[in-house]
Amino acid sequence: MDVTAVSLADRRPTRRINVGSVPVGGGAPISVQSMTTTKTADVEGTLQQIYALAAAGADIVRCTCNEQAAAEGLAQIVPRSPVPVVADIHFHVEMALAALEAGVHGLRLNPGNLRKPEEIKLVAREAKDRGVPIRIGVNAGSLHPELYERFGGATPEALVESARMELALFDEVDFHDVKISVKASSVPTMIAAYRLASETFDHPLHLGVTEAGPLPGGLIKGTAGIATLLAEGIGDTLRYSLTADPVEEARAGRQLLEALGLRERRGLDLIACPSCGRAEIDVITVARDAQEALDALEVPIQVAVMGCVVNGPGEARHADLGIAAGRRRGHLFIRGQIVRVVPEDEMVAALVEEARRIAEEGIEARLAARDAAAEDVAAADRAALLENRGLDANRSGERIERIRRRAGDGGAE
- The model's pTM is 0.85
Whether 20 contacts 48, CB under 8 Å: no
Do 278 and 359 belong to one domain? Answer: yes
List, as one string, the DSSP characters of 202-219.
Answer: -S-BEE-BTT-BSTTHHH
The CA-based angle 256-260-261, given to 5 degrees, is 115
Half-sphere exposure in the Cβ direction for 54 (13 Å, CA): 15
**The predicted structure's pLDDT at residue 5:** 43
**Is residue 264 included in any domain, yes or no?**
no
**Is residue 405 included in any domain, yes or no?**
no
Do 244 and 374 belong to one domain? Answer: no
**The predicted structure's pLDDT at residue 6:** 43
Do 311 and 180 belong to one domain? Answer: no
Residue 230 dihedral angles phi and psi, to the nearest 5°: -60, -40
Q: In a structure prediction context, what are the per-residue pLDDT tens digits for the chain, which is 413 residues long?
A: 344 444 689 999 999 999 999 999 999 999 999 999 999 999 999 999 999 999 999 999 999 999 999 999 999 999 999 999 999 999 899 999 999 999 999 999 999 999 999 999 999 999 999 999 999 999 999 999 999 999 999 999 999 999 999 999 999 999 999 999 999 999 999 999 999 999 999 999 999 999 999 999 999 999 999 999 999 999 999 999 999 999 999 999 999 999 999 999 888 899 988 877 666 678 888 899 999 999 888 889 999 999 887 777 777 888 999 998 877 889 999 999 999 999 989 999 999 999 999 999 999 999 999 999 998 988 888 888 777 654 444 556 677 888 888 887 665 55
CA distance 294 to 240: 25
Do 105 and 235 belong to one domain? Answer: yes
Q: Where are the beta strands (DSSP E) in 116-268?
A: 134-139, 178-183, 206-207, 237-238
Whether 50 contacts 61, CB under 8 Å: yes
CA distance 51 to 62: 13
Residues whose CB falls within 8 Å of the CB of residue 386, separated by 6 or more in sequence, listed in order = 310
> Which CATH number characterizes residue 78's domain?
3.20.20.20
Do 130 and 166 belong to one domain? Answer: yes
CA distance 363 to 104: 43
Number of domains in the chain: 2
CA distance 43 to 34: 17
Do 130 and 254 belong to one domain? Answer: yes
Let me know if 238 is exposed, middle or buried by CB neighbors in 10 A (0-12, 13-18, 19+): buried
**The predicted structure's pLDDT at residue 388:** 64
**Is residue 331 included in any domain, yes or no?**
yes
Question: Domain of 115?
Answer: 3-259
Do 126 and 274 belong to one domain? Answer: no
